[in-house]
Structure 1
Amino acid sequence: MNITSNRRGFLGLAAGAAGAVACPAFSQTQAYPSRPITLVVPFPPGGAVDISARAMGDKLGRLLGQPVVIDNKAGAGGAIGTGIVAKAAPDGYTLVVTSQSTHVVNPAVSPNLPYDAVNDFAYITLIDRLPNVLVANAKLPVKTFAEFVRYTKANPGKLNYASSGNGSVAHLSMELLKSKLGLFITHIPYRGAGPALTDLLSGQVQLTWNNLSTNLLMLQSGTLRALAVAAPLRVSQLPDVPTFDELKLPDLNLTSWTGLAAPAKTPEPIVQKLYDAVRTILRDKDTQDAWRKRGAMLPENVRPAEYRQEVIQRIRFFKDVAQANKIVLE
């Protein structure tokens, strides 16, 4: 009788102790957020990733009842800001805007990143998908993708294409395009998409690969010309421009995206709360109109585990492209 009684007493004390330990963590997640959230953008202000971050950050702050402070920490192709978040406390108060550059291409071409793109983050969900566009200077004497291919083959080495840097999405995508079609086009890397776009507009280079939102106004005005778009379907802003799927180049038909991630080991209830908040925002008609206006696509309902899996698959894809074209950054 005493043994049974003592055993029950011990179990009761153990349960109470466990509850005492668990309650603070539970209370923390229930009360989240109780102070401002920092949203790190690993690129300078004004670019596509920054625009996506600010569009979501403002709405997220109003929905959660706490300010979301945008903190631009640019450098090293997004690796500096992304690495800072990887090492931040996993409490939901420091998040990062993920992009194909930071979480797919960088890991595919850079062996010495200050973060592990797969294991150092708790993925939340996508903010948007951004159609990529093969863009030409309007003075180039081609109006369609077929004319571009014929012209390039008739003038090998005459054309240059700009990218935002060695190992960038534009660099890998254009090298894949060249290898698929046997084209000779010279790569001119720049320190960012801004300088690359400036020289494209002036005619110093004739081509680039960039997301639709960056080039939309210039494409609509006729300053630049879209030859093909990477999107599931033709985009409404460029209804006459075919997708790479239509051109029988499905490997090139990958959208870019931006999303949200937290440091690894962030409590699952916090991740779930952020996921629910983003999905609520994306169902709002004003959000949907704003996304379309800036050339972004509303993402499908990508859950945290699905987002992580897409990152893994795309790293593998671009790593194969980089190896085939001997692209490695030290």
Structure 2
Amino acid sequence: MQRRQFIHSAAAAAVASSLSGLSLAQETSRPLRIVVPFPPGGATDMVPRNMQDVLSKLLGGQPVVIENRAGAGGSIGMAEVARATDGLTFGIATLSTQGVNPAVYKKLPYDAINDFVGVTEIVKAPGVLVINPKLIPAKTFAEFVAYLKANPGKVSFATPGNGTIAHMWGAQFLKSTGTQMTHIPYKGAGPAINDLLGGQVPVYFDQVASSLPHIKSGKVVALAVSWHERLEVLPDVPTYAQAGHPDLNDPSWFGLVAPKSTPAAQVERVQKAIIAALKDPAVKQRMAAQGLYPSGTSSADFTKQIASEVAKMKKVAASANIHMD
């Protein structure tokens, strides 16, 4: 306990030193607001809540408030972040909000590149292909692909909605494997996973963080994960590369962005606090248990990463003819 308190104190001192003349008392008197652009309970929501208490301590006791502003594939929440001018509002950015949405929507209420500054990538989030074993007679990735080829167009796959990262993953899977499935878009991850568990849909492209409890219980079977090596939490599940499809091996990610107008000193202060929080033993343990892998990058690198993801997802969307308006 004493060691953890020392870590917190040292990290907090380092964060405070980055204020560059700003008043620490002024900075910590008002809550830091983190907007999650999706409903509570999903992987996007888990990420900031895993570090909420530690982050507050590292910011000198400044309250950290997490607000869910769900809707329109994350667009409502991100638009709210983009409009904020208080210097205290940040948003959880995802591959969907900052990569897929700009690729599939001609009109968005925010500009994923020009309305924000990247603060840091917080974690990498491996994807996973899961099936309901009562509906699909396959135990391995190869058996599943063989089943799809023997039953072209007769199998459906669920996603949290049209134009989501899961939709993109599904489209990439079909192209890479030369198979056919019918896409069933749901209004969120909750309804999709519920129908997968209930037997209404046999296949789901998800993130490990939200599917892991159902995989562990045996209710669904994981066939492949998008990661550079097998996951500690799923050691028996191959990566897509090991299954012969390295083009499907890219994971998702979650990061933090701020409105473009946010003072650079504030961005640096929060970035340093998150990097420190990711090193906290309790935070690391929570993340690992959920299949989330802490990263932590510079503001400049994350800003460049977002621009790169937009370009990449536009190519995927064009190839699969995915567009929302």
Common fold: TM-score over 0.5 = yes
Aligned to 2:132: 137
Instruction: Tell whether 2:104 aligns with 1:109.
Output: yes
The secondary structure found in structure 2 opposite 1:232 is coil
Q: 1:127 aligns with which of 116, 122, 127?
A: 122
Task: State the one-letter code of the partner of 2:174.
Answer: K
Distance apart, 1:248 and its partner CA: 3.2
The equivalent residue for 1:51 is 46
Kept after mapping to 2: 8 A contact 1:29/1:269: no
Matches within 5 A, 1:1-330: 26-27=21-22, 31-64=26-59, 65-89=61-85, 91=87, 93-139=88-134, 140-299=136-295, 301-330=296-325
- Does the 8 A contact of 2:28 with 2:63 survive in 1? no
The one-letter amino acid paired with 2:253 is W
CA positional deviation for 1:60: 1.2
Residues 205-255 of structure 1: CA deviation (Å, up to 9, x unaligned): 111110001011110111100010001211011111111122232221111
Deviations 1:83-117 (A, max 9, x none): 011011052x1111111111111111111111111
Measured in 2, the distance between the counterparts of 1:30 and 1:305 equals 27
State the Cα distance separating 1:295 from its structure 2 match: 1.7
Verify the 8 A CA contact 1:29 1:270 in the aligned structure 2. no
- SS of the aligned residue for 1:310 comes to helix
Identify which range, 238-247 or 203-212, moves more after superposition: 238-247
Structure 1 residue 138, shift from structure 2 partner: 1.8
Out of 44-53 and 161-170, give the one that drifted further: 44-53
Which one has a bigger Cα radius of gyration?
1
SS in 1 for 2:28: coil
How far apart are 1:31 and its partner, in Å?
4.6
Counterpart residue number, 1:21: none
Gaps of 5+ in 2: 1-19
Residues 122, 297 of structure 2: 8 Å contact kept: no
Distance 1:97 1:288 in 2: 18
User: Identity over the aligned pairs, expressed in percent?
Assistant: 44
